[in-house]
Chain A
Amino acid sequence: MPLLNVLLFARARELAEASSTTLTLPDDPPASVADARAELLTRFPQLSGVLQTSIFALNKTYVKRDDERVAIVRAGDELAVVPPISGG
């Protein structure tokens, strides 16, 4: 059962009232970023709006929305919720 560290930023952090959390996901078959997205939504229903416009970064690399089902998460991985960015 991979224990996944999840970081929350900006609007997602505010709505969850947490800057990080951990998710426990099944490992057979191995869980994907898409599974993490679904689990996050169950844990934090208030994120449903912001998650629609967010992508994830897995171990500091962006995961394209279309690749979430094939991006496998492993124990100890760091997953970040990335709402629309606004640096500059």
Chain B
Amino acid sequence: MPSPPPPRIRVRILTEPIDERESIEFVRSPLAGAISTFIGTARNTYHGVDVLELAYECYEPMALEVLDAVARETCARYAGDGDERRVTVDGRGGMGVVAMDIAHRVGTVGVTETSVVVSCAASHRKDACDAVAEAMELLKARAPIWKKEILDVVDETSGTRVGVWKANGLGEHFGRDG
């Protein structure tokens, strides 16, 4: 029985717009029967106030290490046993996850634009979908990346737009359980 090959992994921090299609093509594999992709996009509202754009920043060397660890951990969790002879009825198994791509944008991200993409290819669909969801949860809990919402509100003192730093509220390192 063939053992699954090591997963193909790529993680990136980008200042340019993310090409979602290219992320999908990166994970595409003859071993995969499913590709799942999560696309995070910039929303236009915060507690009923109009959001003009998002401003992201990151601690890039550490963020890349964290994203790589997130991808490796998730791929290991959803690895298969390499046995494609069994008839799977649960959407799992075989080679399991064979490739994962994570890209996060930094800098200014306009409303509707993509801030993050996670793509995953797996032998079967549930492993692909679950691995993407789990990688996103880990990214939000661990990656040193910060988002500021620039609101359609002008501060009367400074004359500049009001910005609000967000908090994911689920950071495992921050001792919260949100």
Contact = CB atoms under 8 A, between A and B. Distances in A.
Interface of A: 7, 9-11, 13, 53, 55, 57, 60, 62, 64-65, 80, 82-88
Interface centre among A9, A53, A86, A87 (most CB of B within 10 A): A87
A88 B40 CA distance: 7
B92 interface: no
A60 B116 CA distance: 22
Interface residues of B, number: 32
Contacts of A85: 140-146, 167-168, 171, 174
A87 B63 CA distance: 10
Given A10-B165, A11-B165, A55-B173, A87 B62 contact: no
Interface of B: 40, 56-59, 61-63, 65, 104, 115-116, 136, 139-148, 165-169, 171, 173-175
B116 A87 contact: yes
Contacts of B59: 7, 9, 57, 60, 80, 82
B148 A10 contact: yes
A11 B40 CA distance: 23
A87 B165 contact: no
Nearest to A63: B173
A86 B146 contact: yes
A87 B173 contact: no
A87 B118 CA distance: 13
A65 B140 CA distance: 19
Given A10-B57, A55-B173, A65-B175, A87 B145 contact: yes
A82 B165 contact: no
A37 B5 CA distance: 45
Contacts of B40: 88
18 contacts: A9-B144, A11-B165, A53-B167, A53-B174, A55-B174, A62-B173, A80-B59, A82-B59, A82-B144, A84-B165, A84-B171, A84-B174, A85-B142, A86-B167, A87-B63, A88-B115, A88-B140, A88-B145
